[in-house]
Structure 1
Amino acid sequence: MKYLAVYLLHHTALQEYPSFPGQPADKTMNFSPPVSRDRIISTFPKCYNPQACLQMKDDWNTKAKMACQDRAARQQGYDRLKMSKAVVVGDLNVGKTCLINRFCKDVFERDYKATIGVDFEIERFEMSGLPFSLQIWDTAGQEKFKCIASAYYRGAQVIITVFDMADIKSLEHTQQWLSDALRENEPDSCFVFLVGTKKDLLSAEECQRTESDAIKIAAEMNAEFWAVSSKTGENIQEFFFRVAALAFEDSILKDLETGTSTAQIGDGSILDDKALEKAEEKPKKKSCC
């Protein structure tokens, strides 16, 4: 039943997106609501701490910006399908689910049930005038669910490793979590973030000391570090905006590099116009009855 539940979640996510390019929208399958005002990103989000930043810039990549302006002018329908996948990994009880729920639902619950296997949320944005969706996969921190969760690491554009700032041991485990996630993906294909949660539990002195240790670990992981609080909401929106912006820009640049406009859903792809034309040209097999 657990595997069936995970399949149904994934299948539902695929159904939420419109029809293929060049085809009329299937109203029975397109349940996408409009982008809310607080999900519109017009300027490139800044990093949390310059010492822990891997992308030191104040604006979108020039090529990506020009491509966005061009697509916005042409109103290409398939841009509605553009989506990136982010997986959230880390020890049990470090606050992965609280982190996601605070951003996606703007709620904080002190008591919660441990994630069984995997779960996910889909957040829709408007990036530099274009629609974009981010799949955020919440994975279980329990050892017995690792074999299930690891299968959903594949096809990630972003890996978010989470630790509890009040539990230094969870920081020590983040490198192993990252190693497990990277094993399921192509080398150098993912943005990596190290996120410290429960910042509100630390004094200013403790926070500074923990951040210093985390920045060192982040450098070893080639990750960008953020400190957040799901309870107060501190840095939550800023962090996810940063994740979405980097993933979106990378997706645009990859399209320009390959010369395609294929929309990615995890590690799968939706056919572009040329692929559909070729498929339509193939002769249909005659039925035997």
Structure 2
Amino acid sequence: MLETRSAVYKMMKNVAHEERQIKYWPPPFASDMTPYRERDFDGNVRKVCLSKSLVPRISKAIVLGDVAVGKTSLVNRFCHKLFDNNYKATIGVDFEVERFDVLGVPFNLQIWDTAGQERFKCIAASYYRGANIIVIVFDLGSLMSLSHSQQWLAEAERSNVGFYHIFLVGTKRDLLSNKVYEVIEKRAITVAKTINAEYWAVSSRTGDGVPELFARMASLSFNATIIRELQTSATEQITVGSDLVTLKNQKELPEKKKLKCNGCTV
């Protein structure tokens, strides 16, 4: 009889493909086009990864944008190394899960490819919740799609609270001359700064920039996830005068014993 194994156990035993093994910090598209200033994995993150005590982690990325900007082509290029000229509009949402090994720790990236058509917005919006990464996609050849970026981000933010990374991704780079692209890039960078997003320009047809983009997304999200967990589990320390006082999490404090005195409870 075959031994039944959990999905988590299988994921820990398997190893991600070589190109999905992240050992070094992936750089942004350009150093002046990102609000995320980390230059390497956090030191504490590296230490805990070396301990081999971490279980697999997972993050959720939602891909938003106008119809026909290339959202599905972007996801298919990364997940399946495919590009299809015969475009078919996404109905509702499509879902992919891609495995990475980040600093030796199994990491799954859920990628939710959402519909851009107005009639499917209500369906797609129900899947926005719990996003760790928001990817706003626009067509580099369409300034109209770029102008809708803030609207798409606002849609995603209605369903999400807390911290998440934001990416503004221009597609179809291969269709623009360098001269035209330079003009579009200036406008895109302005929008990216306005919505506090990291900017990328990619081509799903050629694959240029696509693996680097997703490696960057995975690394930023993994690093942030582990840091939050370490901060949550760590004890709090405050300085009182010249002394350093450690305050344990309230749930760790022992319950006060009730002392009875002459029939009274203190």
Do the two structures share a fold, i.e. TM-score over 0.5? yes
Taking the aligned partners of 2:216 and 2:101, their CA distance within structure 1 comes to 13
Name which of 60, 70, 75 aligns with 1:100: 75
- Provide the TM-score with structure 2 as the length reference: 0.83
Structure with the largest fraction of strand: 2
Are residue 37 (structure 1) and residue 18 (structure 2) matched? yes
Matches within 5 A, 1:237-252: 237-252=211-226
Are residue 220 (structure 1) and residue 201 (structure 2) matched? no
Q: Which moved more, 1:239-248 or 1:104-113?
A: 104-113
Partner of 1:197: 171
Taking the aligned partners of 1:202 and 1:237, their CA distance within structure 2 comes to 20
SS in 1 for 2:208: coil
Partner of 2:118: 143
The amino acid of 1:254's aligned partner reads R
Any unmatched runs of 5+ in structure 1? Answer: 1-24, 261-289
Taking the aligned partners of 1:105 and 1:150, their CA distance within structure 2 comes to 25
The amino acid of 1:105's aligned partner reads H
Taking the aligned partners of 1:126 and 1:48, their CA distance within structure 2 comes to 22
Q: For residues 19-67 of structure 1, give each alpha carbon's deviation from its aligned partner in whole angstroms, at most 9, with x where no partner exists.
A: xxxxxx8437566553111100000000101221122333111121122
Taking the aligned partners of 2:222 and 2:44, their CA distance within structure 1 comes to 13
Percent pairwise identity: 45
* Contact in 2 for aligned 1:122/1:134 (Cα 8 Å): yes
CA RMSD of the aligned region, Å? 1.8
Taking the aligned partners of 2:16 and 2:46, their CA distance within structure 1 comes to 20
Are residue 184 (structure 1) and residue 184 (structure 2) matched? no
Structure with the largest fraction of helix: 1
Matches within 5 A, 1:85-124: 85-124=60-99
Matches within 5 A, 1:4-15: none
Any unmatched runs of 5+ in structure 2? Answer: 235-266
Report how many residues are paired: 230
Name which of 146, 150, 156 aligns with 2:131: 156
- Provide the TM-score with structure 1 as the length reference: 0.76
SS in 2 for 1:55: coil
Q: Which moved more, 1:193-202 or 1:49-58?
A: 49-58
The amino acid of 1:140's aligned partner reads A
Are residue 27 (structure 1) and residue 26 (structure 2) matched? no
Name which of 175, 185, 203 aligns with 1:229: 203
Taking the aligned partners of 1:190 and 1:168, their CA distance within structure 2 comes to 26
Taking the aligned partners of 1:51 and 1:235, their CA distance within structure 2 comes to 17
* Contact in 2 for aligned 1:51/1:215 (Cα 8 Å): no
The amino acid of 1:27's aligned partner reads R
Q: For residues 150-175 of structure 1, give each alpha carbon's deviation from its aligned partner in whole angstroms, at most 9, with x where no partner exists.
A: 11100000000000001110000011
